[in-house]
Amino acid sequence: AQSVTQLGSHVSVSEGALVLLRCNYSSSVPPYLFWYVQYPNQGLQLLLKYTSAATLVKGINGFEAEFKKSETSFHLTKPSAHMSDAAEYFCAVSGGAGNMLTFGGGTRLMVKP
């Protein structure tokens, strides 16, 4: 069984500031981990994924995440926030390739000018 906890349902940063969205997971098997972004009334867009290769994963739009097994974490970061980054972000875990995903509660990122 898998579960995901996203700390902080809302995160607010200033434009140009560091973005840090936290994700901790629980999995009984080696996990596959994902970060998705969702804009209002739209589906999910994959930002990046960890599939047991490199622990530091780079994604689209300047985002990256680091898999830390000892901390069971997969936090998402971006060095400099842009107004267009304002959206809902979901961390998800699956037990294998193509398997169904278990999502965290989501974090709404707000970017202040």
- On the CB side of 82, CA atoms within 13 Å amount to 6
Q: Per CB under 8 A, does 7 bind other proteins?
A: no
Q: Which of 1, 56, 83, 100 binds other proteins (CB under 8 A)?
A: 100
Contact between 101 and other proteins per CB under 8 A = yes
Sign for the CA dihedral angle at 102, 54, 15, 85 comes to: negative
Q: Tell whether residue 1 is a contact of other proteins (CB under 8 A).
A: no
Closest separation in Å from C-beta 51 to other proteins? 6
At its nearest, how many Å lie between other proteins and the CB of residue 64? 18
Structure token pair of residue 29: 């098997």
Residue with tokens 């981990």: 33
What residue ranges in 6-86 does DSSP mark as E strands?
10-14, 19-21, 24-27, 32-38, 44-50, 56-58, 64-68, 73-78
Identify which of residues 56 and 100 has a Cβ nearer to other proteins in the complex.
100
| Residues numbered 47-66 forming contacts with other proteins, rule: CB under 8 A | 49, 51
Q: Are 25 and 31 spatial neighbours (Cβ–Cβ below 8 Å)?
A: yes
Q: Does 105 bind other proteins (CB under 8 A)?
A: yes
Positions in the binding site for other proteins (CB under 8 A): 34, 36, 41-46, 49, 51, 90, 94, 97-106
